[in-house]
Amino acid sequence: MEVLENRHVTGRDYILTVRVPLGTIERIKPGQFGMVQVRSSLQFDPLLRRPLGIFNVEGDRVSFLYRVYGRGTELLTKVSPGEEVEILMPLGNSIPENYDRYLFIAGGIGIGGLFLASRWFKERGKEVVFVYGERSSENLSGIEFLRKYGINSVVYTEDGSFGKKGLVTSELQSYEDFVWIACGPTPMMKAVKELAKELNVECYLSLDRRMACGVGACLGCTVKTVNGYKRCCVEGPVFKADEVIF
Ligand code: FES
């Protein structure tokens, strides 16, 4: 797919925007992801495939918000507009659509996997609140999109440099009558899961795993659940919170 933009946002975060083939946008469901293949001298090096949440869609364009963690994402930052990247999408299951009130809980780059879903449900008349937390204001990469699309949001920073001071989980008790959808670092996900259980709230977790194939063939992305091991790329990335064993 043709790269239209690959811009630095803030800190270690970038947004990759590509033009997608006809019919792709219509197939995307909230919470799905794409496997982005970064080219190298080893053309099919599986280590250079990265699962990235589909962050936004506009016209025939799809964007991915990503944070640089290793060789694959580092190489991805070098891709320029006009070049081609291979992307397999949309992949994975999606967020259930049968609720009226959605609370999205994103820790850090977890917003990359949830923003589009929040927009998607808002545009379909659902009540949506987005709770977004980061260490400090320097890392709030997704905030411009929450504003641009008018998503009702509450922002937390751990150092108090923007929004409310505290953790993203600080005031979740106020949203007992919403379904909770969370994506973020493991300690945050554990805390959300525990709180949801305590309050008897329906809760789903969008999990992030290293993936080699993205289509269920390699078993490299397994998630331990109360129903045995499941493949994050096919049975996930969205799991019921009470199903996941950390
Ligand atoms: Fe291969 Fe999930 S990434 S089975």
Q: Are residues 125 and 198 in the same domain?
A: yes
Range of the domain at 23: 2-91
| CA–CA distance, 62 with 66 (Å, rounded to integer) | 13
Which tens digit of pLDDT belongs to each residue from 55-97?
A: 999 999 999 999 998 888 888 999 999 999 999 999 999 999 9
Q: Are residues 114 and 201 in the same domain?
A: yes
Helix (H, G, I), strand (E, B) or coil at 71: helix
Position 240 in a domain: no
Band (43; pLDDT cuts 50, 70, 90) = low
Position 232 in a domain: no
- Residue 104 Cα, ligand 1 centroid: separation in angstroms? 26
| CA–CA distance, 205 with 217 (Å, rounded to integer) | 23
Ligand 1 binding pocket mutation candidate from 32, 213, 239 (most atoms within 8 A of CB): 213
- Domain of 125, CATH number, reads 3.40.50.80
Q: Which atom of ligand 1 is nearest to the CA of 222?
A: 2
Asked if residue 233 has its Cβ within 6 Å of ligand 1, the reply is yes
Residue 225 CB-density burial (10 A; 0-12 exposed, 13-18 middle, 19+ buried)? middle
Position 236 in a domain: no
How much is the mean pLDDT over the chain? 94
**44: pLDDT strictly greater than 70:** no
Mean pLDDT of 138-156: 95
Q: Are residues 105 and 197 in the same domain?
A: yes
Q: Which atom of ligand 1 is nearest to the CA of 221?
A: 2
Q: Are residues 126 and 198 in the same domain?
A: yes
Q: Are residues 66 and 106 in the same domain?
A: no
- Domain of 82, CATH number, reads 2.40.30.10
* Omega within 30 of 0 (cis) for the link into 90: yes
| CA–CA distance, 202 with 182 (Å, rounded to integer) | 11
- Residue 229 Cα, ligand 1 centroid: separation in angstroms? 12
Position 52 in a domain: yes
Band (46; pLDDT cuts 50, 70, 90) = low
Asked if residue 88 has its Cβ within 6 Å of ligand 1, the reply is no
Q: Which residue has the tokens 């949506």?
A: 128
Band (42; pLDDT cuts 50, 70, 90) = low
Q: How many domains does the chain have?
A: 2
For residue 173, count other CB atoms closer than 10 A to its CB.
11
Position 243 in a domain: no
- The two beta strands, 228-231 and 86-91, are unpaired
Mean pLDDT of 224-246: 98
pLDDT at 31: 97
Beta-carbon contacts of residue 171 (< 8 Å; ≥ 6 apart): 131, 154, 164
**110: pLDDT strictly greater than 60:** yes
Q: Residue 170 corresponds to which amino acid?
A: S
pTM to 2 decimals?
A: 0.96
Query: Is the ipTM, as predicted for this complex, more than 0.85?
Result: yes
Domain-terminating residue out of 91, 120, 138: 91
Position 223 in a domain: no
Beta-carbon contacts of residue 76 (< 8 Å; ≥ 6 apart): 6, 14, 16, 36, 38, 50, 66, 68, 85
Mean pLDDT of 138-142: 90
Q: Are residues 86 and 37 in the same domain?
A: yes
Position 109 in a domain: yes
Position 135 in a domain: yes
Domain-terminating residue out of 91, 119, 136: 91
Q: Are residues 64 and 107 in the same domain?
A: no
Q: Are residues 83 and 13 in the same domain?
A: yes
Nearest Cα to 72, choosing from 25, 37, 33? 37
| Measured CA distances, 231 to 93, 163, 182, 207 (Å) | 11, 37, 18, 11
Asked if residue 46 has its Cβ within 6 Å of ligand 1, the reply is no
Q: Which atom of ligand 1 is nearest to the CA of 214?
A: 3
